Chain A
Amino acid sequence: MSENEHHVVSPLLYLGILCALLIFTGITVWAAYQNFGPFNIVIALLIATIKMSLVILFFMHGKYSPRRTQLVIISGFFWLAIMLGLTLADYTTRHPEPSRSANPPAIAIHRA
């Protein structure tokens, strides 16, 4: 049955990943209380990305998956990057609509 043998990740490694994830959760809460200016969000997302990578590589066996599966995983993030990148490029370079800045909108918005 050698063909049916799947890579088995040891519980010790799982335990190590669990500890790493908990430590990173602590770090991200601590970092949120420090003033890094515009870098607060960068640090928060960086830590979240590291945590995600640990989950995908070890808990989800991404590291031990066949190349074809790894390609599918990477392509998912590639498409996500296209969606985020192109949309944000549009939003950050578009001139504000006239109705938004200078003149108030023609229809007043009533709020209770």
Chain B
Amino acid sequence: MHRTGELFGQYRTLEQQKETASLGMWIFLVQEILFFGGIFLAYTINRHSYPTAFGIAGNMLSLPLGAANTVVLIASSFTMAMSVWSAQTSRKALVTISLIATLLLGGVFLGVKVKEYKDKFDHHLIPGHGFDITYCSRNPAACHLEGKELSNEVEEIESGIKAEGGETALNAHAQLYFSLYFGMTGLHALHMIIGAGLLLWLILESRKGRYDANYNTPVENVGLYWHFVDIVWIFLFPLLYLINRHLV
């Protein structure tokens, strides 16, 4: 494995060697676009078929937590970009600091995600036998629902049952939403975990002063991957959290 940025025989210049690495990373990311694209397609078709159930289920997510996570992830993309700039301008200490900041922000994102998953578990929103979209409207104390929020939810569930033609149908279609929710955010979180591992490796290498203006390909390519994961979330956030907010 080359670490110091020497020129390999098959390349004419270091620039060409670098561009080749970047091109390879992009080809991998294009494959990732299509990989996530298939799941977005499944989401689109099911949302198109069951708009009411998807709207009701989507409103059960916590918008404050989702929005906060969007901000955290965008901030982590910024710190990642800063680590690339620091490497390009040979600010070796700043490379490490920016990478650590990125890793910490990624950790915050995953921590919030754990809290959200736990809430869904408590609210009987995990697809399977225990799934019950009406759970919170029937046990408001268990979900900390009260006042206007509670009356809104009860009203929404009632209109949903009417529109879907029964509680069974509403539950079945809401489960589709939550299967997609856990599938999509779970796959995204898996990418974040892999990204965190890569960041950890970069931090350890960067502490040895490996990355500077002459050699920073790993920082750049992990950066590309991290920004891609950010882009996936940029689409997941409005599609999962913001479906029918104006109806509540």
Q: Which A residues form the contact surface with B (CB < 8 A)?
A: 1, 3-6, 8-11, 14-15, 17-18, 21-22, 25, 28-29, 32-35, 40, 44-45, 47-48, 51-52, 55-56, 58-60, 65-66, 68-69, 72-73, 75-77, 79-80, 83-84, 87-88, 91-92, 111-112
- Could you list 15 A-B pairs, sorted by A, with CB under 8 Å? A4-B13, A4-B14, A8-B89, A9-B81, A15-B78, A29-B67, A35-B246, A55-B227, A59-B81, A68-B23, A69-B26, A72-B27, A75-B30, A80-B34, A92-B48
Contact B88 A6 (CB under 8 A): yes
Contact A60 B227 (CB under 8 A): yes
Q: In the assembled complex, which residues on chain B have CB atoms less than 8 Å from the CB atom of A51?
A: 231, 234
CA of A61 to CA of B207, assembled, Å: 25
Contacts known (A4-B214, A8-B85, A72-B30); A84 close to B37, Cβ less than 8 A: yes
Contact B19 A45 (CB under 8 A): no
Q: Give the shortest distance, in Å, between B187 (CB) and chain A (any CB).
A: 16
Contact A28 B246 (CB under 8 A): no
Contacts known (A14-B78, A28-B242, A55-B227); A22 close to B71, Cβ less than 8 A: yes
What 4 A-B pairs come out closest when comparing CB atoms?
A76-B30, A32-B242, A44-B238, A32-B245
Nearest-neighbor residue (CB-CB) of A78 within chain B? B30
The secondary structure that dominates the B interface is helix
CA of A65 to CA of B213, assembled, Å: 17
**Is B65 in contact with chain A by the CB < 8 A criterion?**
no
Q: In the assembled complex, which residues on chain B have CB atoms less than 8 Å from the CB atom of A5?
A: 15
**Is B208 in contact with chain A by the CB < 8 A criterion?**
no
Proximity bits, B34-60, A CB within 8 Å = 1, else 0: 100110110011001000000000000
CA of A88 to CA of B15, assembled, Å: 42
Contact A55 B77 (CB under 8 A): yes
Contacts known (A34-B246, A111-B168); A14 close to B15, Cβ less than 8 A: no
Q: Give the shortest distance, in Å, between A49 (CB) and chain B (any CB).
A: 9
Q: Give the shortest distance, in Å, between B157 (CB) and chain A (any CB).
A: 17
Contacts known (A4-B13, A55-B227, A111-B172); A88 close to B45, Cβ less than 8 A: yes
Residue from A9, A18, A111 in contact with B75 in the complex, judged by beta carbons closer than 8 Å: A18
CA of A78 to CA of B18, assembled, Å: 25
Contact A55 B234 (CB under 8 A): yes
Q: In the assembled complex, which residues on chain A have CB atoms less than 8 Å from the CB atom of B238?
A: 28, 32, 44-45, 47-48
Nearest-neighbor residue (CB-CB) of A58 within chain B? B81
Proximity bits, B216-231, A CB within 8 Å = 1, else 0: 0000000110011011
Contact A11 B63 (CB under 8 A): no
Contacts known (A60-B224, A75-B30); A3 close to B15, Cβ less than 8 A: yes
Contacts known (A6-B18, A14-B81, A33-B246); A80 close to B74, Cβ less than 8 A: no
CA of A4 to CA of B217, assembled, Å: 12
Q: In the assembled complex, which residues on chain A have CB atoms less than 8 Å from the CB atom of B204?
A: none
Q: Give the shortest distance, in Å, between B48 (CB) and chain A (any CB).
A: 7
CA of A44 to CA of B235, assembled, Å: 9
